[in-house]
Structure 1
Amino acid sequence: MSEMRAPLVAHIVYSFRIGGLENGVVNLINAMPASRYRHVVIALTDCDPDFSARVRRQDVDFISLRLPPGHGVRHYLTLYRLLRRLRPDIVHTRNLAALEMVVPAWAARVPVRIHGEHGWDSSDPGGRSRKYRLLRRLYAPFVTHYIALSVQLSSYLTRAVGVSSARVTRICNGVDAQRFVPAGRRAVAPEGFANDNCVVFGTVGRLQTVKDQVTLVRAFGRWLAGDALARQYARLVIVGDGPQRAEVEAAIAAADVAGRVWLAGAREDVPQLLQGLDVFVLPSKAEGISNTLLEAMASGLPVIATDVGGNSELVVPDSTGCLVPAEDPAAMAEAMQAVFHDPERRRAQRVAARRRVEAEFSLDAMVDRYMAVYDRMLVRAGQAVAAAG
């Protein structure tokens, strides 16, 4: 008797490039046993070859549909035909940009259609848009089950969209604690940028409005303008690239901190760059559960984060870091100044941040929860589930 072939999961995303959501897909595929599930990644736009190479499994295909802007009914046939050819057991869409593809998945008779809410749309930080709520309600009948990454997103689905709580499972991101590890601060910045006496603050994220690196630069400049010691020894590293780069550069010039800020650009060596920091700052206007924040904590970094989305589910104030209001340079500057002048606090929070990740946000626990949802939904749909190996 031939061995059962593992069920196939089709992960449908808007694009497959550097980003927190996409990193989560990579981690999930890499850590999930091949005997349990097979995978294919379908991007409505394109799959970046360099980023796709982060998936270590050789049996994963990457399909770029290259659909033009304005996805809608006219594109359903393209995906319908693809899904009829692939015959996945599960379609797993993520965020609003890919949600509508549950309709052609339903038409193609895919048994299980899971939708993940990872964070707010960049044009709707906080989920206040009536239009987006209505769109989610429109597509809800075609979704078998939802996965929300934070309590806030779970509540949004049940209260604002009207999804039954029985159809929503909260699964927090997990972090690869073997890849992101604490280390004595590495010299990763350009020569002469920071000496051993400096305290290096840093952030990682795409340079776009919702990530709000501009507020971080303004906070840094505001602080340094009134703190002579910090002006001598504080440094800021901003990792990432994107459409707001010019605004970030302008903010650096306006704050007169050009020699004290390093714009590192988009990088592949984020674990090493995090090891070059002393404090991590997340200035976002909106978040789901931030992969980057978890990676920083796994790297043993104290955290200053805005009190938005799922950040309060990760950061324990006075233990692993602190939370500040979004879009508030004064509050962020005050928090940066406090941790700069308190090396003992930094040392204690480094230890606490790493311990929290190890105890609460392991990659293995995240994968187990995803597989449990996949298994349960397949059984309900009358489909076979591969035995745990």
Structure 2
Amino acid sequence: MTAPLIVHLTYRLDFGGLETLLIERINRMPASAYRHAVVALTHYTDFARKISKPDVEVYALDKQPGLSLGTHAALFKLLRRLKPAILHTYNLAAIEYAPVALLAGVPVRVNGLHGRDAADPEGRNPKHKVLRQLMLPFYDHCYANSGDMLAWNRQVIGVPEHKSSLLANGIDAERFRPLAADEQRPDFGFGPACRVIGTVGRVQDVKDHATLVDAFALLRARLPGEAAALRLAIVGDGPLLPALREKVRALGLEGLVWLPGARYDVPEILRGFDVYAISSIAEGTPGSVLEAMASGLPAVGTRVGGVPEVIAEGITGQLVPPRDPSAMADALAPYLRAPELTAAHGAAGRARVLSHYSMPAMVAGYQALYDSLLERKTPFRKPIKSCVE
């Protein structure tokens, strides 16, 4: 019997935390349980090559700005041809396509809340709220990847408890690990004596990398004795990368800030950092922070979304207000002055990931959700054993 097909609908398939974990789940879910296809509303890049499972088709609908009714029609035709059992849409950008899936005969429709846009970091946009509420009857389940987002879904949008759940992110703690005692620290051109503050993520407005650059400039001014050894690494591609490079140049930080664009050796890069920083103005559960913690790094992050659920303040890192370079610089400084604090918070962070954010648990959680919804919506389907049984 052919395994049911899941179509994953996302705005773009490119370098990013949501996309990385989407591909991890596809690669790790047993082939006997589900088949997968990925549909990008706009486009996909070489990042799609990270899908290692065979026979996973990737499609792009080339959506234009605005309503783009043609995209609805194109998705309808594609769903009619693919005949998936489940449509899994991600975030607000894809939420409006559940009615199309219903008309195309897709039995189960799921939406995942993984974060918000920079234009509406706190979820206050009334048009977005109305759209989510209008789409709610068309979905069988609306999960969130952080407790903050789950509470917002229930209290603000009105998602019933029986149609909502928390599905936490998971991290591969074997790939993302601390530097071993007998390993040489990766350099990437920084120099062996340098202290590196690093971050990984798509360079877009919601990540607010400009604040991190400003914090780095302040930190160098506040720590004149350490300034010569300080470096900043911002790894990732995105629409604001040229502007960020220009900002670095204007501040006279060329040669001190590494902006390599998208990289596919992130686990190795993280092992070359001393401390991790995330300056986002909105987040779900930030997978990049979990990867850094799994790599034994202390983390300094903004107090937004699910970040405080990940970073235990004073234990695995520090929390600061968003859009506050001065507070970010103050929180980073102790890790550059006290190696013993860096090591202690880094070790505590890895222990937290191992106990709370297991990759097998994440995959099993998603599969269990798919199984339960399909068994309810298609009662004659034979139940599938969970991948953790």
Residue number among 323, 326, 339 corresponding to 1:330 in the alignment: 326
Q: Counterpart of 1:346 in structure 2: which amino acid?
A: T
Measure how far apart 1:260 and its partner are: 2.0
Aligned twin of 2:71: 75
Q: How does 1:178-327 map to 2 (within 5 A)?
A: 178-183=174-179, 186-190=185-189, 193-196=190-193, 198-327=194-323
Measure how far apart 1:232 and its partner are: 2.0
Aligned twin of 1:5: 2
Aligned twin of 2:128: 132
- The SS at the match of 2:364 is helix
CA distance in 2, matches of 1:37, 1:167: 22
Q: How does 1:26-105 map to 2 (within 5 A)?
A: 26-48=23-45, 50-105=46-101
Residue number among 105, 110, 116 corresponding to 1:114 in the alignment: 110
Aligned twin of 2:384: 386
Q: List per-residue Cα deviations over 1:99-136 (Å, max 9, x = no partner).
A: 11111101112111000111002321121111100111
Change (3 A) 1:67 1:243: closer
Q: List per-residue Cα deviations over 1:180-199 (Å, max 9, x = no partner).
A: 11115623322xx3333x22
TM norm structure 2: 0.94
- The SS at the match of 1:202 is strand
Contact 1:31 1:363 in 2 (8 A): no
- The SS at the match of 2:84 is coil
Contact 2:16 2:202 in 1 (8 A): yes
Contact 1:5 1:386 in 2 (8 A): no
- The SS at the match of 2:25 is helix
- The SS at the match of 1:228 is coil
Q: List per-residue Cα deviations over 1:41-84 (Å, max 9, x = no partner).
A: 11112232x21111110021111222322245443222122111
CA distance in 2, matches of 1:67, 1:54: 23
Residue number among 137, 145, 151 corresponding to 2:147 in the alignment: 151
Change (3 A) 1:254 1:25: same
Residue number among 15, 18, 22 corresponding to 1:21 in the alignment: 18
CA distance in 2, matches of 1:180, 1:71: 40
- The SS at the match of 1:259 is coil
Q: Counterpart of 2:31 in structure 1: which amino acid?
A: A
Percent identity between the aligned chains?
43
Measure how far apart 1:253 and its partner are: 3.5
Change (3 A) 1:349 1:128: same
CA distance in 2, matches of 1:213, 1:120: 16
Flag structure 2 segments of 5+ consecutive residues without an equivalent: none
Contact 1:149 1:173 in 2 (8 A): yes
Measure how far apart 1:248 and its partner are: 2.1
Change (3 A) 1:53 1:74: closer
Measure how far apart 1:160 and its partner are: 1.4
Measure how far apart 1:256 and its partner are: 3.3
CA distance in 2, matches of 1:357, 1:226: 32
Contact 2:364 2:386 in 1 (8 A): no
Question: Which 4+ residue blocks in structure 1 deviate beyond 6 angstroms?
Answer: none
Aligned twin of 1:142: 138
Measure how far apart 1:245 and its partner are: 2.4
Measure how far apart 1:249 and its partner are: 2.7
Contact 2:118 2:281 in 1 (8 A): no
Q: List per-residue Cα deviations over 1:26-49 (Å, max 9, x = no partner).
A: 01111111111111111112232x
Q: Counterpart of 1:208 in structure 2: which amino acid?
A: Q
Q: Counterpart of 1:46 in structure 2: which amino acid?
A: H
CA distance in 2, matches of 1:380, 1:72: 33
CA distance in 2, matches of 1:70, 1:267: 31
CA distance in 2, matches of 1:354, 1:35: 32
Contact 1:281 1:305 in 2 (8 A): yes
